[in-house]
Amino acid sequence: MLEEVSGLSFDRFFDQWLYHGGVPELKADYSWDAAAKLAKVTVRQTQKVSEQVLLFQFDLPVRFWPKGAEKPVDFKVTVTKAEEDFYFPVPTAPELVRLDPDTTLLAKWDFTPPPDMVKRQLQGDVLGRIYAVQALGRKKDDDSVRQIAEVLNKDAFYGVRSEAAKALKQVMTPAARDALVAGLNQPEARARKAVVEALGAYPHPVAHAALLQQAQREKNPEILGQIITTWGARPAEPAITAELIRLMATPSYHNMVAAAVIGAFRAQGDATAVPLILAKLSSKADALEFDTGDFAAGMDALAFLARDLKAEEREPVRVFLTSHLSHPREELRVAAAQGLGTLRDARSLAVLKPLTAVSKPFKDPVRDAVEKAIVTLSADQPRPLELKDVWTQMQDLQRKAQEMEKQLETMKKKAGAK
Q: Where are the domains of the chain?
A: 1-103, 112-199, 307-396
Angle of helix 238-248 versus helix 221-230 axis, rounded to 10: 150
DSSP code of residue 14: I
Mean pLDDT of all residues in 151-176 = 97
Domain 112-199 identical in fold to domain 307-396 = yes
CA distances from 223 to 144, 228, 247, 254, 277 (A): 27, 9, 13, 14, 21
Q: Give the Cβ contact number of residue 225 at 10 Å.
A: 22
> Which residue from 156, 138, 136 is spatially nearest to 148, judged by alpha carbons?
136
5: amino acid identity, one letter: V
In the structure, what pLDDT confidence band is assigned to residue 374 with cuts at 50, 70 and 90? very high
Distance CA 254, CA 298 (A): 13
pLDDT for 384 beyond 90: no
The number of angstroms, rounded, from the C-alpha of 4 to the middle of its chain's C-alpha atoms is 44
Cα–Cα distance for residue pair 170/164, rounded to 1 Å: 10
Query: In this predicted model, what pLDDT tens digit does every residue of 5-60 receive, in sequence order?
Result: 877 788 888 899 999 999 999 999 999 999 999 999 999 999 999 999 989 999 99
pLDDT-based confidence at 361, cuts 50/70/90? low
pLDDT band at residue 410 using 50, 70 and 90 as cut-offs: low
Domain 1-103, architecture per CATH: Sandwich (2.60)
**Residue 278, H or E segment:** helix 274-282
The three-state secondary structure class of 33 is strand
Is the model more confident about 85 or about 3? 85
pLDDT at 387: 47
Pairing of strands 25-33, 38-45: antiparallel
- The pTM of the full predicted model, rounded to 2 decimals, is 0.79
CATH of domain 307-396: 1.25.10
- From residue 359, how far is each of 209, 331, 354 by CA, in Å? 55, 19, 11
The Cα–Cα gap between 302 and 259 comes to 12
Residue 38 CA, distance from chain mean position:
46
Question: What class has domain 112-199?
Answer: mainly alpha
pLDDT (0 to 100) of residue 278: 98
Radius of gyration (Cα) for the chain, nearest Å?
Answer: 34
Distance CA 221, CA 250 (A): 10
Considering only CA atoms, which of 383, 378, 369, 386 is closest in space to residue 350? 378
